[in-house]
Amino acid sequence: MQSLIGLISSVIGLYIWCIIAYAVIGLLFSFNILNRQSDIACRIYGFLNQMVEPALRPLRRIIPMFGTVDITPLVLILALQFLQSLIYEYAGRLL
């Protein structure tokens, strides 16, 4: 049971890092620090987009934009960390 909880926690942690990388690369693209013509950068961003966007899309329908700032990645990270702490809390009760 502990190894399953550890695996789930690791997957959630990895997904959180994917969200962070997605947001950072998006900012680097928007400020023209990273060139959109770079094949490697576009491939990485495309992969992260396919991983993260399905989870962000429903949140974007609910949470409004604050000017040009999109806070949905932050909300998703907070929700995932809350889920992670819930898993640890209930797993502690089971063990």
* Nearest-angstrom CA–CA distance, 25 and 41: 8
DSSP β-bridge partners for residue 69:
66
pLDDT at 94: 67
pLDDT at 93 over 80: no
Question: In the structure, what pLDDT confidence band is assigned to residue 65 with cuts at 50, 70 and 90?
Answer: confident
Q: Which of 30-34, 66-70, 85-89 has the lowest mean pLDDT?
A: 66-70
Mark out the alpha helices in 31-71 (DSSP H runs). Answer: 39-62
Residues 6+ apart with CB under 8 A from 59: 72, 75, 76
pLDDT at 84 over 90: yes
* Nearest-angstrom CA–CA distance, 59 and 71: 10
Residues 6+ apart with CB under 8 A from 94: 1
pTM, full prediction:
0.91
pLDDT at 68 over 90: no
